[in-house]
Structure 1
């Protein structure tokens, strides 16, 4: 395999263009952290980076743009080199850094929480920045990635007319291979050097739509940049969002197998609530937290309609989950799935390792407050208790929008760590007769 060329000069670009096919940017070996190939001579991990494809998007695409700019969709296709049977790629990270520090990503594809047709899990970082990162993870603990047909996309607004767009690509990953002892080993690999790319105005195609995604059920916690060289102090975009956070009762006391079951139930409940409320699951910001979940609704969400329907959807889905668990052959080992929920509305930023902002802090402090926990523990007639931040309560419940009533709400003081505030809490929905083998479960 040919190694990547140097960085960011026209001469080096032209040399690399002569050495590879026209549609291929470079074929690069993935080497161990010490700069050497993996010590097992059979392993030849590598990546074939396609030449970035650039498409001018029409204004009708709905992509944000301003006067005097050209909106581009850039696609970065790549394939991984095949490896011997029993070996494979556990994780691949593609990092794209644009040389123009003023460029900002308007949209990224795949989006956070997306899963590929083979179940590969994707997390994404870089909205509003010139440094982008996609992490593609194998779908199972013992699985590996399909090496072919991988891609990422970004939407940019460039000054119009523009002449050139340049940057560099980094690829890192984790490979897995068997040992003579019968065990398996993992090793980190990466491109030896950054791979530069250069696009001119003549390289741009016109009229290409955004790739259509077919997401499968799944959402995964955002994990932050481990890179030590992150120095971009540009504040990521902050927008006002309706936020919903939930947490499962007594998760940490369950058996491992029950924790897995509860996480699946949690995902099912959240998706069902969004469907009930006509909230686009894939347009939401999503952050899984093991026994909890954060949903950041799209900015154009109608809070007056979404909130009551989300609450009803949570209660209905919890009831369905618990009916199925009680009717299963292993029902005696199951306890009811019960949860706390909290709503708040405020400015949210997509930061390097999740969603950030005082609104998110207030939301989770309210969710974790002692009065809300006590309400769920004391009221065994329900599987769901809810808290509204004071402002959200005043905006929605006091106004008695359809499906919302102040009946049953109790004002409470929230004091968690350094946070102090006011919330309004109540039980929501009720279950039928509690099965005798589940009664009295705290």
Structure 2
């Protein structure tokens, strides 16, 4: 079997066999296939695509390129949740304790932020003392004891994906549905989940700008999960504006805590309830969506999810007092209230521009090794369709270095567009994809 022949075969639009894909992934991971040949293969996939069988075989070959996590020692059905990345998306911090409080074990491995999208591990490290590294044994023991653990991803999982993604990033082949889907699903399957709930973002602040493309990605990932023997469902949710009002690590932790306290409603809470409902459905803890959502709503209102968050923080050596005293979170030295420079309805709130503003302030990292400032970021005081008077507070910037403010303000100015006429709000959820196909979503009141 020759690598060149397989590149040509894919370039000419033919499907590769399971053995051919395994040959490519294994030998590239082992260093037997040079970067330039794998880059050529990725470009062939970019233009010619892959069918469902090929994409599944690519995913499983990547899973088998490194270690996999065996979670069978954990009692109950392990359901994992993954988001394709967004701005002010703090659902994991709400979902983990909420779903665990419903009796579904949450054994979650999360990543750090890169670019304008935040990372769950960075956010959790805003909580004083919180440890995000646990041994496999301690991880399993904690989930069995309190029902939840959230840790950083193992570096030994799916090494093929790390190598292939590094090439895609510099060869213009990131934007390929088979390559995106196999990258995401290989990590979820290797992490040991028995069921997977996906949050596929679409809009200006998402990787998939087009809603139809987001549905296609969701269908591909659900197809992979189903073929791999995992119950998989995907929600397609809006990222044309930030999900929550806070952007920045400690600020987002504060907002998540306020949701758990019952003080904050809105899209972050609603999407968390939607994703969580599918998680407990997959675990067999409810007979239908309405019952699942009712269970989770009750857990929020009774503050039982907040109590579970306290258990999680204590188990991972954080200071649980943060739940009642939010000033224990990292605090920025400076604060600037930006007022509306026009009067009218908010027609656009560009999530990506605001994410970049927060990154410029220090809340995000441009490279994976860059340091971040946990305290800085911003809070938006309205949503698309809201009416603002001239000089009404529009958002608040939290900063530690004044020299960063001018560039951050450029992004802020780009992010907001006002309209004199009324503007319809975006739907929060566009639909759901299950193994049966596309379905409407009626979980929101």
TM-score range, shorter chain: under 0.3
Bigger radius of gyration: 1
Bigger RCO (CA 8 Å, 6+ sep): 2
More strand by share: 1
More helix by share: 2
Give the structure-1-normalised TM-score. Answer: 0.28
Give the structure-2-normalised TM-score. Answer: 0.27
